[in-house]
Amino acid sequence: MVLVLSGKNLRGWLTMAKSIELVEGFYKSFSSEDYIMPPREMMQIPELDAVYVFMPSYSHTVGSFTLKLINEYRRNLSLYGLNVASGLILVFNLSTGQLEGLMDSVYPTAMRTGAIGGVAAKYMASRDSEEVGLLGSGNQAWTQLEAVGTVLPVRRVKVYSPNKKHREDLARKASAELGIEAKAVDSAKEAVENVDILITATNSAEPVLSGSWLSEGVHINSLGALATRRELDEITFHRCSVVVADYKESVVREAGDIIDALSKNIIKIDEIVELHEVVKGLREGRRGSREITLMKSVGFASLDLFFATSLYKMAREKSLGVEIDIH
């Protein structure tokens, strides 16, 4: 029997606090020898402004093989009123090859990505961080904000995205659900200036800010899994004292702004720190209160494997989801 977990089912019990607990636990125990994963495969469909991403991984330590398939149709919302992203995660028993779990990939991906940002903020941002600047208004922007607010005493957020309605909607949601002061602002500059934490969660091919706007001591969480995307400009990298990757091998191959900064020798590859090293206390995520720090996240299949398998086991224990016989 295969356990099926829909996005609606997962939203009913997978909280951000639990997601952060799982992701932090993963990084505390992470060893690259425990996971096998090839580089993610991407297939672009330019005429539809769409991309499909395939992410397989297996682990004898965890006992699973997983395959995540997720897509992004950027015109969906404006043309059809549909979600931009869709996909599935398959969880196989590694010993027998039997399919054991089938789940929505959009909600778990948003929660694990948010949790990565939460873990990074916990270990890299100033502990008294109260002010957040948010560039972006989609699901990833929301879960990043929710995660940062889970680990730090956030009181205020300024939200900017090019779509006025979207930024106002997210600000209202933040105020209602997180209980913080939330304001939609009219420019990226206004959102970036004078904050303790900056979150960039866009799909922009060009930088969405100038590093000259950054305040001393700010921590940045930046997302981006395509080499064609570049949220951060050169000035930002010049000003960052610490650059951390959620998974270095993937970040230097897939994050367009990191690739650009490396090619121009603004940063050096051996200076990029792995997030698991920071969580384990092997490397410092912040050395002083005036430093500007950056965590770049692109996501990676080993964490998806750990996260999805953990959700599958939790659901089994709680008798959640629906069992089907597909044979």
Choice among 95-104, 199-208, 264-273 with the minimum mean pLDDT: 199-208
pLDDT of residue 227: 67
pLDDT of residue 264: 96
Number of domains the chain contains: 2
- Percentage of residues of the chain with pLDDT beyond 90: 93
Per the prediction, the chain carries an average pLDDT of 96
For residues 164 and 295, state if they share a domain.
yes
pLDDT tens digits, 23-76: 999 999 999 999 999 999 999 999 999 999 999 999 999 999 999 999 999 899
Residues forming beta bridges with residue 222, ordered by sequence position: 200, 296
CATH number of the domain enclosing 255 = 3.40.50.720
| Domain-located, residue 197 | yes
| Domain-located, residue 114 | no
Average pLDDT over residues 160-178: 97
For residues 159 and 253, state if they share a domain.
yes
For residues 280 and 133, state if they share a domain.
yes
| Domain-located, residue 195 | yes
pLDDT tens digits, 215-264: 999 999 998 766 677 899 999 999 999 999 999 999 999 999 999 999 99
| Domain-located, residue 327 | no
| Domain-located, residue 290 | yes
For residues 174 and 252, state if they share a domain.
yes
CATH number of the domain enclosing 310 = 3.30.1780.10
C-alpha 135/C-alpha 117 separation (Å) is: 14
| Domain-located, residue 12 | yes
Residues forming beta bridges with residue 67, ordered by sequence position: 56, 90
Kindly report the pTM of this predicted structure: 0.95
* Side-chain-facing half-sphere of 128: CA atoms under 13 Å: 2
For residues 187 and 251, state if they share a domain.
yes
Domain extent at residue 258: 124-299
For residues 317 and 268, state if they share a domain.
no
How far, in Å, are 43, 52, 141, 206 from residue 49 at the CA level? Answer: 11, 11, 21, 17
For residues 100 and 15, state if they share a domain.
yes
For residues 152 and 282, state if they share a domain.
yes
